């Protein structure tokens, strides 16, 4: 095709382009507006020239794909939606091909609409002659200035007119020649390339304006030369990334529109609209502000100055500034943010995770039958009227004897009227069927990307590549279960922003996204995927080739811990003594289990937990009737394979998934005498199985599609306090095989035929010890040396079993804590790992307390400094002494929201967030009906501890006091602190649990205060401490007497007077 818009000696065209408007007389303008025109011959010739270029085989036809490319070549940039509609129209009505007449018919409305505000050479010459009085083909510059001022003065400043006149008279002779080549012929930028500049001066190429021929010069109709209207800019943005690609929950598009129309001179691109960005936009008189994240996300009911976002909106309206947000449409579009992000690890085969859907011109298909051609014509005329006169796509099938079958598509808005029209006719009403049409997928568009890398990487290399790609020094990493930094990465799944919902369940070696919650990370890690988080934003400016990637801010954060592996199993040691009694076990429903084994035992489990089917019922004999025994059930893998049902049976298809920490179900009758166990059928009906690896209800966790064996353990209650090598071992005569399947709620058993496994004998294994809750980190000796003498470490499992055979309730008090300035605190990474290990041990205590079936009110104690840095607590204490901090902000942080804490640097804020989320997991123990008592520590950090404890109370103590705080009554300010907490609980509506103690750090507090030059925080005498304790006790007892369901207290004291005081008030309340 000949070059368009080239340098030709048509200087009248260039002159008209300087005018940028149709500047003929008003009568001429009205006449043109009143007379609709068709395509001129030169326009048809140009269309023919373009058509012939794409008609490669010269058969006079082009395909739909060629038509789209042809339109783009001519400067028309159809959206994906327009091409789909056009393709459907061509396929339905034109047989899939387009000839030149069809092409002209399709293009004429677009061409005429575009040239409605333009004039060509004839109009240009006519306008020029109006000012060339002597007809010599020349006008003076003064005549040109006068004409432009008269015709364009209301739209152009005198400076702009002077610039055009000066450019037209390039030889300086004071005249302008219509045919002189000295007048520039290049198009202004908006007509030639349509670009806009952001505040970083980053050029984003947009749709070309139009094509120019040798006989038709076009002028763009705008208010100001070289500028675009807001509507046109929005059209360009829509072509760049259709808003229909955005997620349904998102709020994208034009959010604020000025009341007065004006050209868009300045566009500012930002990641988030903040006060600082608005000030910059106001300073530069910005016309359009493009904010990647929507500043208006949720509906607002009023515009007031109290809310900072509403302030910004009001300022934008007052400044006449438009606000546009693309957000997830820029993520989804092909070549957008997600494609840029996945390209950071190199080339690969990229696919879309969540397919984007396009819009369809019609939403429903109506199929019906008519008896004759006359009836068909009548019905079709009525249907066309229903859809505003639009010709609906339809196909007609004419069988010999069965009338005429018709298929018609219509829009959603026309569906009701179309159906009503068809129901008026007998044949269509009797044969009508309505089909909902699916939206067509858009290849390459959608949320998230999955890349199969051409060159596999290690995890460490992938991290370095992403740091370089994003321009960050820090990324957050969680290694998949059993993986290391040297593990191979072959597949990568990415999603910009918060991508957990898109990435969930995707099989990939590495997840890359902005942010995920703690539990979402654990889900990914448990399935073997490593997670790399860059936070929701970063501070890298976009590269030139991808100017849409949002500039963001860097946040330094800790590496996320990998999921803890189960402790290695300890081989059974030989028995050291021969049991006096020969214990025997008989499976009560052995015939049913054998029948299941013959066809393959297939167990149905769910995430919520299901009871075992068939049930496990057995009888015991050979027990000493007078001794007490504990019965336990655990379920272990039968082999190291994963199974799939294929070829009529269960076949091993790969290695087993990583073994989960063993859980034990304690029979609710334990401990009981041998006579008790031997006189009844023993059922494990209450044991529940689940495939939820994050289960917090204490169920036994099994992997789907694995083979397992249940084991029943019979242990003498007195043996739990002995060394492991002294435990007795006995034979059990039956074992069972279990193959678990994916969750199903419709049946308890799927009797698929399979080979099954022969019954075999299983020796009773000794109960493996539970993991040490301190995870190798023992409390410092100085923590309680005032009051406690260190004891030899006792196996936690042994202690737990011992408590079950007695009437003593077990209080799980974790002694783990950290102190400011300890040598172990030098490495923050080591400390974070230690804190996470502490968390796992505490959660194990919670699970044990939950399974403590005889206790009405189980409770676990903890120290906050086992989960949060003491140095940070000291600093927070100093900061809140200067400026109080709202606990509600910490509650939001526990739910994963960002947090701003004035006075803390980025690393401290990141560590605070991690600590709060650890405390949040402890608080969730309320689901297990286990109360959590936060123990007191030193006064120089107690205010910070009370702040986070109050935040936990606000979140978890809505209906009952699940989180308790400790008040040290030997401190002078203890009573006032208790009154403040009581007042806050009443105003905020949460329950309050209080433990009152006299104190354990009195001497140390005095010495520290003296060393640091602070006032002594401790009461001077025993009498003062006693008054403080009894006064605080009265405060709580008064509150309990008014609302006993909202307030609870633990009276922890050796003082007889205080105990009697509490007992007396308690009896009086009853």
Indicate the length of the chain as a whole number: 1070
Cα–Cα separations (whole angstroms), residue 563 to 271, 478, 530? 34, 8, 11
Q: Give one word for 654, left, alpha or beta, with left for phi > 0 and alpha for psi -120 to 50.
A: left
* Residue 331 is assigned to a ligand binding site: yes
Q: Is 293 assigned a ligand-binding role in the annotation?
A: yes
Q: Please tell me the number of Cα atoms within 13 Å of 395 on its side-chain side.
A: 10
Nearest by Cα to 522 from 551, 561, 487: 561
CB atoms closer than 10 angstroms to residue 166: 12
Q: Is there a contact between 817 and 777 (Cβ–Cβ < 8 Å)? A: no
What is the number of other CB atoms lying within 10 angstroms of the CB of residue 200?
A: 11
- Angstrom CA distances, 833 to 771, 827, 867, 872, stand at 16, 10, 10, 17
Decide: helix, strand or coil at residue 952.
helix
Q: Are 47 and 75 within 8 A, CB to CB?
A: no
Are 767 and 714 within 8 A, CB to CB?
no
Classified as helix, coil or strand, 420 is helix
CB-based contact 492:512 (threshold 8 Å): yes
Cα distance between residue 783 and residue 1004, in whole Å: 10
696 - beta bridge partners? none
CA–CA gap between residue 762 and residue 737 (Å, rounded): 12
What b/e sequence results for 82-117 when a residue is b if at least 16 CB atoms lie within 10 Å of its CB, and e otherwise?
Answer: bbbbbbbbbeeeeeebbbbebbbebbeeebeebbee
Contact yes or no for 713/677 (Cβ under 8 A):
no
Cis, bond preceding 246 (omega within 30 deg of 0): no
518 annotated ligand binder: no
The structure tokens listed for 496 are 């910009």
Query: Which of 486, 539, 481, 478 has its CA nearest to residue 511?
Result: 478
CA distance 339 to 330: 10
Strands (E), 348-469: 348-357, 364-370, 394-397, 404-410, 433-436, 441-458
> Could you give the CA distance from residue 205 to residue 203 in angstroms, rounded to a whole number?
6
Distances from the Cα of 756 to the Cα of 597, 649, 744, angstroms: 5, 9, 21
Determine phi and psi for 941, rounding to 5 degrees.
-130, -5
Dig out the tokens for 25 from the structure.
């007389």
Q: Which of 172, 447, 182 is nearest to 333 (CA)?
A: 447
Distance CA 61, CA 630 (A): 87
Terminal-to-terminal C-alpha distance of the chain: 100
Cβ-Cβ contacts under 8 Å for 1063 (sequence gap 6 or more): none
Contact 963, 993 (CB under 8 A): yes
Six-digit token string for 732: 């059990």
Q: Are 227 and 190 in contact (CB under 8 A)?
A: yes
Quick one: tokens of 382?
A: 């009525």
Distances (CA, A) of 237 to 230, 241, 329: 11, 6, 10
Pairing of strands 441-458, 394-397: unpaired
Cβ proximity of 814 and 841 under 8 Å: yes
Three-state SS at 394? strand
Which amino acids are annotated as binding site for a divalent metal cation, given as ranges? Answer: 293, 331, 536
List, as residue ranges, the binding site. Answer: 293, 331, 536
């Amino acid at each position: 095709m000949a070059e368009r818009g080239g340098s030709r000696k048509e200087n009248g065209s260039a002159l008209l382009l300087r005018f940028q408007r149709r500047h003929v007389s008003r009568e001429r303008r009205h006449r043109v507006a009143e007379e609709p025109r068709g395509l001129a011959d030169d326009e048809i010739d140009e269309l023919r020239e373009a058509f012939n270029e794409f008609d490669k085989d010269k058969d006079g036809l082009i395909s739909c794909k060629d038509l789209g490319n042809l339109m783009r070549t001519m400067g028309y940039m159809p959206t994906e939606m327009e091409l789909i509609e056009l393709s459907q129209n061509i396929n339905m009505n034109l047989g899939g091909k387009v000839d030149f007449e069809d092409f002209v018919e399709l293009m004429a409305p677009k061409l005429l609409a575009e040239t409605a505000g333009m004039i060509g050479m004839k109009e240009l010459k006519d306008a020029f002659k109006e000012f060339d009085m002597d007809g010599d083909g020349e006008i003076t510059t003064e005549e040109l200035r006068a004409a432009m001022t008269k015709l364009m003065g209301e739209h152009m400043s005198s400076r702009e007119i002077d610039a055009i006149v000066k450019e037209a008279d390039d030889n300086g002779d004071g005249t302008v020649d219509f045919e002189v080549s000295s007048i520039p012929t290049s198009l202004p930028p908006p007509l030639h390339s349509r670009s806009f500049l952001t505040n970083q001066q980053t050029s984003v190429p947009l749709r070309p304006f139009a094509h120019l021929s040798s006989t038709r010069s076009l002028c763009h109709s705008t208010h100001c030369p070289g500028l675009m209207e807001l509507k046109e800019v929005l059209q360009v943005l829509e072509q760049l990334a259709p808003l229909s690609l955005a997620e349904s929950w998102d709020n994208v598009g034009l959010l604020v529109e000025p009341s007065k129309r004006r050209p868009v001179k300045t566009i500012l691109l930002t990641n988030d609209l903040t006060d600082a960005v608005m000030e910059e936009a106001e300073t530069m008189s910005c016309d359009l502000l493009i904010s990647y994240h929507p500043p208006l996300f949720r509906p607002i009911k009023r515009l007031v100055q109290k809310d900072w976002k509403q302030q910004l909106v009001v300022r934008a309206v007052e400044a006449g500034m438009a606000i546009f947000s693309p957000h997830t449409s820029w993520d989804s579009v092909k070549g957008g943010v997600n494609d840029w992000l996945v390209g950071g690890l190199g080339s690969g085969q990229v696919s879309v995770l969540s397919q984007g859907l396009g819009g369809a011109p019609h939403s429903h298909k109506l199929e019906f039958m008519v008896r004759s051609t006359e009836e068909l014509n009548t019905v079709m005329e009525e249907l066309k009227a229903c859809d505003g006169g639009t010709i609906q796509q339809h196909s007609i099938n004419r069988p010999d004897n069965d009338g005429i079958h018709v298929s018609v598509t219509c829009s959603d808005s026309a569906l009701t009227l179309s159906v009503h029209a068809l129901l008026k006719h007998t044949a269509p009403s009797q044969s009508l069927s309505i089909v909902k049409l699916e939206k067509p997928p858009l290849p390459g568009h959608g949320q998230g990307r999955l890349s199969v890398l051409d060159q596999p990487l290690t995890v460490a290399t992938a991290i370095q590549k992403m740091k370089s790609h994003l321009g960050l020094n820090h990324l957050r990493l969680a290694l998949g279960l059993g993986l290391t930094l040297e593990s191979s990465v072959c597949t990568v799944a990415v999603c910009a922003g918060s991508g957990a919902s898109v990435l969930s369940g995707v099989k990939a070696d590495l997840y890359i996204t902005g942010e995920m919650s703690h539990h979402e990370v654990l889900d990914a890690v448990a399935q073997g995927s490593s997670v790399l988080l860059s936070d929701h934003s970063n501070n890298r400016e976009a590269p030139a080739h991808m100017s849409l990637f949002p500039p963001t801010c860097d946040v330094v954060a800790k590496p996320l811990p990998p999921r803890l592996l189960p402790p290695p199993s300890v081989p059974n040691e030989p028995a050291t003594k021969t049991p006096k009694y020969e214990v025997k076990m008989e499976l009560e429903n052995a015939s049913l289990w054998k029948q299941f084994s013959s066809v393959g035992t297939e167990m149905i489990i769910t995430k919520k937990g299901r009871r075992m089917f068939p049930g496990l019922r057995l009888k015991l004999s050979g027990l000493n009737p007078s001794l007490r025994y504990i019965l336990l059930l655990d379920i272990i893998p039968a082999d190291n394979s994963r199974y799939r049902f294929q070829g009529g049976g269960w076949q091993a298809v790969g290695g087993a998934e990583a073994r989960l920490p063993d859980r034990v179900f304690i029979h609710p009758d334990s401990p009981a005498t041998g006579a008790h166990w031997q006189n009844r059928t023993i059922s494990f009906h209450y044991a529940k199985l689940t495939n939820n690896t994050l289960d917090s209800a204490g169920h036994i966790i099994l992997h789907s599609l694995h083979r397992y064996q249940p084991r029943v353990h019979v242990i003498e209650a007195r043996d739990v306090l002995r060394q492991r090598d002294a435990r007795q071992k006995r034979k059990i005569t039956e074992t069972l095989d279990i193959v678990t399947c994916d969750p199903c709620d419709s049946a308890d058993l799927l009797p698929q035929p399979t080979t099954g496994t022969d019954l075999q004998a299983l020796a009773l294994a000794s109960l493996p010890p539970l993991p040490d809750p301190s995870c190798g980190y023992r409390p410092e000796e100085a923590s309680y040396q005032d009051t406690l003498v260190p004891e030899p470490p006792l196996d936690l499992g042994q202690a737990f079993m011992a408590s079950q055979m007695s009437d003593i309730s077990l209080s799980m008090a974790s002694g783990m804590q950290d102190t400011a300035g300890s040598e172990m605190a030098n490495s923050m990474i080591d400390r974070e790992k230690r804190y996470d290990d502490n968390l796992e041990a505490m959660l194990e205590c919670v699970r044990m307390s939950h399974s403590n079936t005889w206790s009405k009110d189980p409770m676990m104690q903890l120290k906050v400094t086992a989960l949060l840095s003491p140095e940070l607590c000291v600093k927070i204490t100093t900061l809140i002494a200067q400026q109080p901090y709202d606990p509600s902000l910490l509650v939001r942080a526990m739910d994963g929201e960002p947090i701003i804490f004035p006075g803390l640097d980025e690393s401290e804020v990141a560590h605070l967030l991690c600590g709060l989320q650890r405390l949040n997991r402890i608080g969730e123990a309320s689901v297990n009906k286990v109360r959590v008592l936060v123990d007191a520590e030193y006064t120089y950090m107690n205010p910070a501890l009370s702040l986070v404890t109050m935040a936990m109370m606000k979140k978890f103590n809505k209906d009952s006091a699940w989180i308790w705080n400790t008040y040290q009554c030997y401190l002078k300010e203890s009573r006032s602190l208790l009154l403040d907490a009581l007042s806050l609980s009443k105003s905020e509506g949460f329950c309050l649990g209080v433990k009152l103690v006299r104190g354990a750090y009195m001497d140390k507090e005095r010495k520290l205060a003296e060393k640091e030059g602070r006032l002594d925080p401790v009461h001077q005498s025993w009498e003062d401490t006693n008054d403080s304790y009894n006064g605080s006790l009265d405060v709580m007892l008064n509150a309990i007497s008014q609302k006993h369901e909202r307030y609870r207290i633990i009276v922890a004291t050796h003082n007889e007077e205080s105990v009697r005081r509490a007992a007396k008030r308690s009896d009086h309340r009853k």
